[in-house]
Structure 1
Amino acid sequence: MRYPHRIAHNAGRAGLLSRLALLLLLVGAAMGQAWSQSPRLDVPFVPTPQPVVDRMLELAKVGPGDLIYDLGSGDGRIVITAAKRYGARGIGIDLDPQRISEARANAREAGVDGKVQFVNGDLFKTDLSKASVVTLYLLNSVNRDLRPQLWKQLKVGTRVVSHAFDMGEEWPPQRTEEVDGRTIYYWTITDANKKAAQRAGGAGRAGR
């Protein structure tokens, strides 16, 4: 003997499960699309402590005539400090749109948004030739991939300062300092760097 009320109940339950399964599929597809469209970050965001920022800018002797490029600029604190304390202009480059939005808000709050800008982009595809100072807090591997680009694009005398990571044996730092347990490395671009870039044929990391 059939039980119509049980058949209807089971049919309704099956329909509900089907709708839930469809909803889960749609949510999963949306999350997958968002994941595929999000930038692949070479370096996780870890902010540079302010005492380290201050010493990096002091080592580079930043002044009002300087244009700083901060590669992997995060929340923007390096170029914001340079603009607010020294009157320099600054450009921050970062792959993460969230960090760019945060940095722009921080610049407005600091009152220096007219002196700095933040660009959502790939530092390996950025023209750095106008910089007089370049600051970095990346990784050893990224620094070394970036080194040929710095040699090729930067003018002789441009100052380069890195928090925590060096440039490899091919480019030893001119100065190394410790601040609150953190290491800072300092270089300037020389004629020898430019000649090395010419011999190597120039460009940065292949495939970018």
Structure 2
Amino acid sequence: MKSLKNYLLVFLLLGGLPVLAQTPDLDVPYVPTRQSVVDGMLDLAGVKAGDIHYDLGCGDGRIAISAAKRGAISTGVDLDPRRIEEANENAEKAGVTDKVTFVQGDLFDFDFSKADVLTLYLLPSVNLKLRPKILKELKPGTRVVSHAFDMGDWKPDKTVKIDGATIYLWTVPKR
């Protein structure tokens, strides 16, 4: 029998039979970012109209939606299909479906190389695992902002506190 960690037991009333529905293994728990911190992250990155923005582990889409409201073309990526559904609903309510896209996928397999700005609210271990991909695939000058967690020995260009939260900014260096 498949591990309950990998599957959620869902009972459907159709015929009264239990059905196993696969759910993804999540590397990071969903914790919403306060809007003041979202705004601080986007301010620190200097997000502006025309920027190409990616939010990895986008949750309910609030960072990507806020970037789109500033005129950026934004893409949010999350492994959890429930979060993607919620993010799409939130984008519809915010009126930014023409500037934001949400993709269910694994951020380690996702191509975010066109980013001008990359935002993250992941765990330290995930940031460290992601760092080589960021440094290899993003163009020099890309701004990377992380809420709460750093990138190990890659020292940030700037660190700020917003509403009790620590936010880090890096600029991808020349190769």
TM-score using structure 1 length? 0.75
**What amino acid is aligned across from residue 148 of structure 1 in structure 2?**
P
Determine which of 49, 72, 82 is the counterpart of 1:88.
Answer: 72
Match of 1:128 in 2: 112
Match runs of 1:12-161 below 5 Å: 27=18, 30=19, 33-34=20-21, 37-84=22-69, 86-161=70-145
Determine which of 135, 146, 170 is the counterpart of 1:187.
Answer: 170
**What amino acid is aligned across from residue 78 of structure 2 in structure 1?**
D
CA RMSD of aligned residues (A): 1.3
DSSP 3-state at the match of 1:123: coil
Long gaps (5+) in structure 1: 1-22, 195-208
DSSP 3-state at the match of 2:132: helix
Long gaps (5+) in structure 2: 1-14
* 1:65 Cα offset (Å): 1.5
Looking at structure 2, the residues matched to 47 and 172 of structure 1 have their Cα atoms a distance apart, in angstroms, of 26
Larger fraction in helix: 1
The percentage of counterpart residues that share the same residue type is 62
TM-score using structure 2 length? 0.89
Looking at structure 2, the residues matched to 121 and 107 of structure 1 have their Cα atoms a distance apart, in angstroms, of 18
Looking at structure 2, the residues matched to 98 and 129 of structure 1 have their Cα atoms a distance apart, in angstroms, of 25
- Structure showing greater Rg: 1
The number of equivalent residue pairs is: 161
Larger fraction in strand: 2
* 1:38 Cα offset (Å): 0.7
Looking at structure 1, the residues matched to 106 and 32 of structure 2 have their Cα atoms a distance apart, in angstroms, of 19
Match of 2:5 in 1: none
Looking at structure 2, the residues matched to 168 and 77 of structure 1 have their Cα atoms a distance apart, in angstroms, of 26
CA-to-aligned-CA distance 1:114-164 (integer Å, 9 cap, x gap): 100000000000111111000000000000000000001100000000000
